[in-house]
Structure 1
Amino acid sequence: MDTLSSLSRDISPPPTRGLSRANRPGNSRQTKSSDQIAPHSTEPRSAAIEAGKARIRDHLRYFADHLLGATRPAIPTTPRLPISDFRALYTRNQHAFGHHFVIHQHDHPVSGVHYDLRLQFSESSAVSWAVPYGMPGNANSIRPNRMAIETRVHNLWNNLIESASHATGSLLIWDTGEYEVLPSRKVRRQAATDDETSDCSKSDSDSRSASKKLSASFRARHIRLRLHGTRLPPQYTVNLRLPSANNRERQPDKSKHKRRRIDAKSVRKKVTRNIETDSDDGLTEKPGTAQVEDTYESQQANQAAVASDPENDTDPEYIRATNAYPGATNTIGSVHQRHWFLTLDRPNSGFRRSTSILDKESWTGDWEPFHVLGRDVECSVITGRLAGDIMEDEGVQGFVGRHGWRGIVE
């Protein structure tokens, strides 16, 4: 089997400092063969393909067959995308104007649980953000903003992956489908409208493809994104916005400082203290600032981005310089670790201001609120597996994840 010369390591390894020699990822004492070859099979492991240790010709065939063999029995309350539709979805987007998306749940040993949003923008590549708490699903949440950190540009075939390894943790497909970019032109606010309201109800004469609109909106630093998935409700729309204060055009220099492990308990105490002393509750962006909604969320987002950053180990310098993995091309202009805001677009998601005098500040809509509850609850829309199931299927034993993740449920 061919091995890529440009990649000879796992993607997103934990730092090796402080680990005993025997426990370091890739150490010869570990079961290296079991990391590369699936039991009772001549096919490579999905984690080996993800890491570039093994090369295959047909990613769709491999992953579709792999996921089909790992599928759990259907549960009536859990949405599921059939493998045949999974194949068709990817196949019809294998061209320059494709608009495929995936949301991965990623339980990484360093950054912990986070969710990766990847959007196809060319025939080969997808722009990516790490979203620590997952997609917002409650129009009346007291925490309407999410932090979204740009990470590396990924290969499009990464959208197909469910895998697990000691180096990268577990990766499952939380949702997948096709995206649509809505007009982001602003209109004058009227007395009874919300500042999220747009002119999307008017016909859009823009005939550009979704991927072209994405590239233009990305460069304008404001993306109004509608996701047509399996798990997400109909008309689900979010706004991705990059504040001017968070914008930069060049890739960050390689850090000269050693990465410190964050003490989650002390950070949470700091957040609680800030919330208690802030009359504006400290949870939404204040006008004219680029403050994040939550210090702990910011730390988790940065951990997710750093953990996905191969420059911390032995990858070539050009990956850091171009912000793209081998095989992907950063023609969209993605810059590593820029901090975006991700917010539920309530009007375009079908929500309306309540007409009740007693509850005029609330929103009502056509779908019930949902909450992202993490690795022990959320399962794959393709296989129905939990993160622990994927670990078991891939033969990963003794994995120790990062603790402290809590879903936003209010």
Structure 2
Amino acid sequence: MNGRMAQPISLTRDISPPPTRKASSAQIQTPELAHTNGAPGTGDRVDREHVELLDAEPTLAAVEAGQARIRDHLEYFVKLLSSVTRPCPGPTLTISDFSKLYKRNQHAHGRHFVVHQHDHPISGVHYDLRLQFSESSTISFAIPYGLPGHPNSLRPNRMAIETRVHNLWNNLIESASHATGSLLIWDTGEYEVLPRPQKKTRTTDDELSDSGEDDARSHSERLFAAFQSRHIHLRLNGTRLPPGYTIAMRISASDSLKGPPRKPKTKRRRMDPIRAARLRKQRSAPADSETEDDELDETQSETAAVYPADVDAALASEDEDEDATIRANNAYTGATNAIGSVHQRHWFLTLDRKLSGFRKARSGPDEGRWVGGWGEPFFVKGRDVERSLVTGRSADEVMRDEGVEKFVGRKMWRPIVE
């Protein structure tokens, strides 16, 4: 899994993470591998004891796609990320603290969160906020321009769009592929759900005060209840985000009644014909009978593992049944949508300036402006500037580490810096 590796081909879907493939079409267990543990094709970076092979030479993309069953996702990703860290001038979270954070939230009342920077080839650059609500699952929101960080911004509001319910271990991922683009950890930590402020006559959320009522429920239970009420006051205690950072999320009654979008009538092809033809040619090429499997050309070996049957049949199937289940439940395999998330429902997100520690100046040169809080505002500046909190990598460096070359991303993304 280094810069010299050929492009991973296990991941060919246009969503992240993609649904897993069924054993009948993609998960092949040869007699030699059926009862053997092994590490993915990443050198010595991952212990053999943590990976159960369902494909020969599984890649990170195969792990993300569910084609390699991981016994300990934390151990797997800790070793993987440790091997690709770089010096970074900005805020960082050590691998040790990254591991401890995840471990202490591996239970039913965990409150882990992550903000991923995602450069997707179709939807473009956006930021995914994922919030743990059970031992296994997280609700997920796509925020096109990232979290707001300027209390006096001319554009203080954001749109947050519900996406599929993810597995908790997806919070650990940094990856890249041509199909899904790059994914890096922008911030991670633990969240708090604050009591819903008491309404006052003719006031805005920024002028609401905390109710002060005691709540014996865990924060994940509060998140569950707040999500149902369509009004969440969320404090994100991360490393990059400033202390006390709090946002308000709301959804209108009309939007809450909207169902998930209909399945498109035509299914987009997952692989271009040129690539499919190349794979067929690679598979049909005769192999030296005296050559061992582990000495095969990397691309040929990977092709044989993922496409053991006719490529046309693999392209045609695409696991329709599993895709339909994921759409119906709005949850990836292994996750449970017990919280009632609705795909592509739109939320209104804004910085809660008062609960973040700001106050409105009543006099002086800053009269009418919000002052105090954490002082200097921050701005989310996108893939060309931002780096991973854990590995220090840029989006381009994640791409290179995963062997993704000549990636064509969606253009025209601009940061909000005013």
Q: TM-score, normalised on structure 1?
A: 0.75
The answer to whether structure 1 residue 253 and structure 2 residue 265 are counterparts is no
- Map 1:13-162 onto structure 2 (within 5 A): 37-40=40-43, 44-75=58-89, 78-162=90-174
Query: Residue 46 of structure 1 contacts residue 161 of structure 1 at CA under 8 Å; is this kept in 2?
Result: no
1:158-205 Cα offsets, whole Å, 9 max, x none, are: 000001111111000000000000011423148xx75423332x5331
1:121-168 Cα offsets, whole Å, 9 max, x none, are: 000000000000000000001111101100000000000000111111
CA distance in structure 1 between the partners assigned to 2:157 and 2:119 by the alignment: 22
Query: Residue 104 of structure 1 contacts residue 171 of structure 1 at CA under 8 Å; is this kept in 2?
Result: yes
Higher Cα Rg, which structure: 2
CA distance in structure 2 between the partners assigned to 1:363 and 1:243 by the alignment: 27
CA distance in structure 1 between the partners assigned to 2:94 and 2:332 by the alignment: 29
- Structure 1 residues 186 and 257, CA, compared in 2 at 3 Å: closer, same or farther? farther
Question: How far off is 1:45 after superposition?
Answer: 2.6
CA distance in structure 2 between the partners assigned to 1:336 and 1:232 by the alignment: 27
Identify the residue that residue 213 of structure 2 maps to in structure 1. Answer: 204
CA distance in structure 1 between the partners assigned to 2:119 and 2:390 by the alignment: 18
Equivalent position SS for 1:164: strand
Query: Residue 248 of structure 1 contacts residue 335 of structure 1 at CA under 8 Å; is this kept in 2?
Result: no
Question: How far off is 1:257 after superposition?
Answer: 7.1
The answer to whether structure 1 residue 163 and structure 2 residue 175 are counterparts is yes
Identify the residue that residue 304 of structure 2 maps to in structure 1. Answer: none
Equivalent position SS for 1:196: helix
CA distance in structure 1 between the partners assigned to 2:184 and 2:335 by the alignment: 21
Query: Residue 11 of structure 2 contacts residue 177 of structure 2 at CA under 8 Å; is this kept in 1?
Result: no
Gaps of 5+ in 1: 1-7, 15-25, 27-35, 260-311
Equivalent position SS for 2:64: helix
Q: Which amino acid aligns with 2:104?
A: R
Question: How far off is 1:357 after superposition?
Answer: 5.0
1:236-287 Cα offsets, whole Å, 9 max, x none, are: 000111111211264333233789xxxxxxxxxxxxxxxxxxxxxxxxxxxx
1:22-77 Cα offsets, whole Å, 9 max, x none, are: xxxx9xxxxxxxxx9545458643222112222211000000111111110242xx
Identify the residue that residue 325 of structure 2 maps to in structure 1. Answer: 318
Equivalent position SS for 2:76: helix
Pick one of 225, 239, 247 that aligns with 1:238.
247
- Map 1:383-402 onto structure 2 (within 5 A): 383-402=391-410
Q: Percent identity?
A: 61
Pick one of 228, 232, 254 that aligns with 2:237.
228
CA distance in structure 2 between the partners assigned to 1:115 and 1:59 by the alignment: 22
The answer to whether structure 1 residue 12 and structure 2 residue 14 are counterparts is yes
Pick one of 351, 356, 367 that aligns with 2:363.
356
CA distance in structure 2 between the partners assigned to 1:187 and 1:316 by the alignment: 43
Q: Which amino acid aligns with 1:124?
A: S
Equivalent position SS for 1:101: strand
Query: Residue 9 of structure 1 contacts residue 52 of structure 1 at CA under 8 Å; is this kept in 2?
Result: no
Identify the residue that residue 336 of structure 1 maps to in structure 2. Answer: 343
CA distance in structure 2 between the partners assigned to 1:9 and 1:375 by the alignment: 21
Query: Residue 249 of structure 2 contacts residue 348 of structure 2 at CA under 8 Å; is this kept in 1?
Result: yes
CA distance in structure 2 between the partners assigned to 1:173 and 1:216 by the alignment: 27
CA distance in structure 2 between the partners assigned to 1:100 and 1:380 by the alignment: 17
CA distance in structure 1 between the partners assigned to 2:13 and 2:332 by the alignment: 10
CA distance in structure 2 between the partners assigned to 1:48 and 1:151 by the alignment: 21
Query: Residue 45 of structure 2 contacts residue 80 of structure 2 at CA under 8 Å; is this kept in 1?
Result: no
Query: Residue 184 of structure 1 contacts residue 224 of structure 1 at CA under 8 Å; is this kept in 2?
Result: yes
Query: Residue 197 of structure 1 contacts residue 348 of structure 1 at CA under 8 Å; is this kept in 2?
Result: no
CA distance in structure 2 between the partners assigned to 1:13 and 1:356 by the alignment: 51
CA distance in structure 1 between the partners assigned to 2:325 and 2:257 by the alignment: 19
Identify the residue that residue 366 of structure 1 maps to in structure 2. Answer: 373
Equivalent position SS for 2:79: helix
CA distance in structure 1 between the partners assigned to 2:181 and 2:84 by the alignment: 18
Query: Residue 106 of structure 1 contacts residue 113 of structure 1 at CA under 8 Å; is this kept in 2?
Result: yes
Pick one of 218, 224, 228 that aligns with 2:227.
218
Question: How far off is 1:358 after superposition?
Answer: 5.1
CA distance in structure 1 between the partners assigned to 2:125 and 2:329 by the alignment: 26
Question: How far off is 1:354 after superposition?
Answer: 1.4
Query: Residue 45 of structure 2 contacts residue 79 of structure 2 at CA under 8 Å; is this kept in 1?
Result: no
1:214-240 Cα offsets, whole Å, 9 max, x none, are: 010001000000000000000000011
Matched length: 327
Gaps of 5+ in 2: 1-9, 17-25, 27-38, 47-57, 269-317
Q: Which amino acid aligns with 2:209?
A: D
1:351-376 Cα offsets, whole Å, 9 max, x none, are: 11013255432111231100000001
Identify the residue that residue 33 of structure 1 maps to in structure 2. Answer: none
